[in-house]
Chains A and B, each alone.
Chain A
Amino acid sequence: SAVISQKPSRDICQRGTSLTIQCQVDSQVTMMFWYRQQPGQSLTLIATANQGSEATYESGFVIDKFPISRPNLTFSTLTVSNMSPEDSSIYLCSVAGGYTDTQYFGPGTRLTVL
């Protein structure tokens, strides 16, 4: 398995501000993904973080709102821009490939927007 950490673990933010979430994995992985989990709901994929190129976004998610970086094979960031209360969710990164045998998730970042 992979050991995945996310920072911050939780935050409370004001409307209109931006928050950058970091995801770090302890070994090189091929794929990194960002998911959103709204309160009481299932997980929805935001985008695939591609190393060395622009992220691939799912329908309903755009780069201006959720810019993503992936500078190397162990690290990625997701920024939630110009936040509104509707952005209050858990944001989760996952990893796959490399020495991992399946897709593993980080502990999540719990975001509350006031």
Chain B
Amino acid sequence: GESVGLHLPTLSVQEGDNSIINCAYSNSASDYFIWYKQESGKGPQFIIDIRSNMDKRQGQRVTVLLNKTVKHLSLQIAATQPGDSAVYFCAETSGGATNKLIFGTGTLLAVQP
């Protein structure tokens, strides 16, 4: 779950298309997962979370899917907009949001007009 280098994976999508950002988490004991959006020059912004007793959770234009068997998390963004351009991080923890988070490496989403 620690950062692994200076080059972020990049996902480039056309405006209006759906985006899928993937994350492999590291700890099979993790039971709470959060997706954050970080725009340039800002702190991470909460998007959506999911607990391990769920496989899917939907928000406004976003859906998070959790596959515990393969320790995989995905964030789906419907009808991607230019304002969605940012770096997206998944984070994992055990015992709930009051515990320390372990972050994935992040994915840069670039939305082409």
By beta carbon, the residue of chain A nearest B96 is: A96
- Residue A64, interface by CB 8 Å: no
Contact with B along A30-63 (1 / 0, CB 8 A): 1101000011111111001000000000100000
B98 touching A41, Cβ below 8 Å: no
* Residue in B36, B44, B49 whose Cβ sees the most chain A Cβ within 10 Å: B44
Contact: B97 with A101, CB < 8 Å? yes
B92-112, CB under 8 A of A: which get 1 and which 0? 000001111111111000000
Bound Cα distance A45, B93 (Å): 12
CB neighbours of A25 from chain B (8 A) = none
Q: Of A1, A38, A106, A108, which is within 8 A of B3 by CB?
A: A38
Tell me the A residues contacting B by CB distance below 8 Å: 1, 4, 30-31, 33, 38-45, 48, 58, 92, 94, 96-97, 100-108, 110
Query: B80-100 toward A: CB 8 Å interface, digit per residue (1/0)?
Result: 000000000101000001111
The answer, among A1, A38, A96, for a CB contact under 8 Å with B97, is A96
> Are A102 and B100 in contact, with the CB atoms below 8 A?
no
CB distance from B31 to the nearest CB of A (A): 14
In-complex Cβ contact of B42 among A42, A43, A97, A107 (8 A): A107
Contact A103 B97 (CB under 8 A): yes
Partner of B44, one of A30, A100, A105: A105
A100 / chain B contacts, CB cutoff of 8 Å = 97
Indicate whether A102 sits within 8 Å of B46 (C-beta atoms), given known contacts A39-B6, A41-B3, A42-B105.
yes
